[in-house]
Amino acid sequence: MLQVRDLTLAHGDLKVVERLSLSFRNGELTALVGPNGAGKSTLLRALFGDHRASSGEILLDGERLTPASHRAWQSAISYMPQENRGRMGLSAMETVLLGSLGRLTLHVPEDELRRAAIALDQFGLAEISHRSLDELSGGQKQLVFFAQALLRDPRVMLLDEPVSALDLRHQHLLMDDVRRLCRERSMITVVVLHDLNLAVRFADRLVMLCPDMTCVDGTPAQVLDQALLGRVYGVDTRVSLDEDGHPWVQVRGATR
Amino acid sequence: MTNPAVDLVIAMHRRIERRRMVALLGLLLLLGGLMVLDIATGPALLPISDVLATLAGPAEADMTLRAIVWDLRLPMALMALTVGVALGTSGATMQTLLDNPLASPYTLGLAAAAGFGAALCIQNGGWGLNPSFIVPFCAFVMACLAAATIYGVGNIRGMGTDTMVLAGIALLFMFHSLQSLLQFRATPEVGQQIVFWLFGSLAKATWTSVQITALACLIAVPLLMREAWKMTALRLGEQRARALGVNIVWLRFVTIALISFMTATAISFVGTIGFIGLVAPHLSRLLVGEDQRFLLPLSGLVGALLLSAASVISKILMPGVLVPVGIVTAVVGVPFFMHLILSRRRLAL
């Protein structure tokens, strides 16, 4: 279990998250939603131990994140940042292999190569394993990074907008894999998503960070409230139920 | 449980590794040949067979031949080798570390700092100390200072790589100006000495300076190779490298310290040699890609190849005159670099 207690996060003097308390369970897929600037990415980085909290604490299975436990903490977590670079000349295989960075030597051991190759094959990437990332589609690239993240054998998965650059089909393919592996490996999984309907379809739970630094936490049906969305996002929405009984958000326009 | 697709991926990976290894060995052989040619060329052109025979058995060789090969030209050829390795490997490391294709010991002001250090020392008559020791020492200290400044500035501003590159370029200008100031104030004789040092010449090589430079490379390169995978991870961007568990602050400190030590040692003995540190990594990247296990040693090799080639050219350019190699590398280097930029643009489109 990953717990956040009274967590306050800031960029310099600007607070983005204030006195937040949450807990994330094993095998549960949490979608982190909210408007731009609400602190979703910052929270994710803080959970990975890459952004120092102004106050409050973070615990993984009861162990606190401290400067002393930082290394061990990060080795238990896979964090997939947002796409942030133009050219990447490494091949898919080399990229996935980096997932076991600590065990790589100048001559890569056979079993490390095998682990990486199996990971690539699992996502149907064996064919393109030696193409450079620059030559891959956005969807393939995200799958490569996801395979890399999994190679670390993490207890916690933190994915920052993994599908925002993907087409509809690849959004669903990737999220299918995320949910399946979250269950299979009983990983704590937190995914930042912008598409609320995608969040409804895949997440067990929604955590919505609001610009006023409050947070709404609950099942999709609880969080996706028409009035709440209107207030938080500044949009005019209709929330209805689709044929499967899932809430369905229809945005009719921005409120001025 | 065997899976043919998985086995194929592994086999492909091994094949690529082998191919890159062959590229390394091939260039190593080429370098050996070039060094023999380097030893053979000079005011007295020696037959290759004589060079080889003298190298193999100095005891039996003719006295003059032995003196030319072993005392004059072999130190120069080995200096070209070690300095090329130092500059090439450092350039590759800098480009990876600072995530900037323009980074090199020259463009970031290390060479200019060394030049200023040497000029300052020459200007003051070496404070009465043995010039063959104190001039390189001053150059070394100043180059290390420049590297420390670049590192320090990056540290203050939250380790931004762009800030570090900008700081390096600013240092380049500053040290150039300071050195011009010294030259402007110097007497013609001292000014001449400074200019001669700045040209960058392998002729200053002695067995002692070769041994020191080689030792610096032998210490720094293996230690850099230990960080090769971490540097490869850095090619995915800083945030992704951190997510993979790379301690970037520490990595940057270790690698900058190593390459500063290595390049400062190299340039303090030979003076300003540009372009090798910039071009060698780019050429190597074309050959073996971004895997730093291969890129770092290959950049060193290509650096040595370029400098050996420049050394040969510098001796045959004007018969009877040894043109300083620093001049040749830049003159040959510029069109080469332009070609590189243009062909890259074509690739990017």
**3-class DSSP string for chain A:** CEEEEEEEEEECCEEEEEEEEEEECCCCEEEEECCCCCCHHHHHHHHHCCCCCCEEEEEECCEECCCCCHHHHHHCEEEECCCCCCCCCCEHHHHHHHHHHHHCCCCCCHHHHHHHHHHHHHCCCHHHCCCEHHHCCHHHHHHHHHHHHHHCCCCEEEEECCCCCCCHHHHHHHHHHHHHHHHHCCCEEEEECCCHHHHHHHCCEEEEECCCCCEEEECHHHHCCHHHHHHHHCEEEEEEECCCCCEEEEEEEECC
B348 pLDDT higher than 60: no
Q: What is the pLDDT, as a whole number, of residue B268?
A: 85
Q: Is B16–A113 a contact, with Cβ atoms under 8 angstroms apart?
A: no
Q: Is the pLDDT of residue B347 over 50?
A: no
Do B105 and B134 contact (CB within 8 A), yes or no? no
Quickly tell me which residue has 């896979």 as its tokens: A78
Q: Residue length, chain A?
A: 256
- Under 8 Å between Cβ of A64 and B216: no
Residue B199: the pLDDT is 82
Residue of A nearest to B228 (CA): A106
Q: Least CB-CB distance to A81: which of B3, B240, B290? A: B240
pLDDT band with cut points at 50, 70 and 90 for residue B346: very low
Q: Could you count the other beta carbons within 10 Å of the beta carbon of residue B122?
A: 25
CB contact under 8 A, A129 and B13: yes
Nearest Cα residue in chain A from B18:
A107
Contact B236 A117 (CB under 8 A): no
The pLDDT-based confidence of B114 (bands split at 50, 70, 90) is: confident
pLDDT at B221: 96
Q: Are B245 and A102 in contact (CB < 8 Å)?
A: yes
Average pLDDT over residues A245-251: 87
Structure tokens at A114: 């095998």
* d(C-alpha A196, C-alpha A193), whole Å: 7
Of A88, A100, A104, which is closest to residue B293 (Cα–Cα)? A104
Question: Cβ–Cβ of B245/A91 closer than 8 Å?
Answer: no
Residue B321: helix, strand or coil by DSSP?
A: strand
Going by the DSSP 8-state scheme, the letter that residue B285 receives in this structure is H
Q: How many angstroms from the chain centroid is the CA of residue B193?
A: 24
Residues B207, B191 contacting (CB under 8 angstroms): no
Mark out chain B residues that contact chain A at CB-CB < 8 A: 3, 5-10, 12-14, 16, 225, 228-230, 232-233, 235-237, 239-240, 242-246, 285, 289-291, 293
Q: Which amino acid is at B42?
A: G
Do the Cβ atoms of A93 and B236 come within 8 Å?
Answer: no
- Counting residues of chain A whose pLDDT is more than 90, the rounded percentage is 45
Q: Across the interface, which of B3, B237, B244 has its CB nearest the CB of A101?
A: B244
Alpha carbon dihedral B328, B333, B335, B339, in 10-degree steps, equals: 160
* A93:B3 CB<8 A: no
Number of A–B residue contacts, CB under 8 Å: 93
* pLDDT-derived band at A84, boundaries 50, 70, 90: low
Any chain B CB within 8 A of the CB of A103?
no
* Res B328: pLDDT: 86
Torsion sign, CA atoms B221, B222, B226, B232: positive
Asked if the C-beta of A165 comes within 8 angstroms of chain B's C-beta atoms, the answer is no
Kindly determine whether residue A95 and residue B236, on different chains, have CB atoms separated by under 8 Å: yes
Please tell me the distance from the alpha carbon of residue B276 to that of residue B85, in angstroms, as a whole number: 9
Tens-digit pLDDT profile for residues B231-281 = 999 999 888 999 998 988 899 889 988 998 898 888 888 888 888 898 899
Residues of chain B in contact with residue A71, where contact means CB-CB under 8 angstroms, are: 245
**Model confidence, pTM:** 0.89
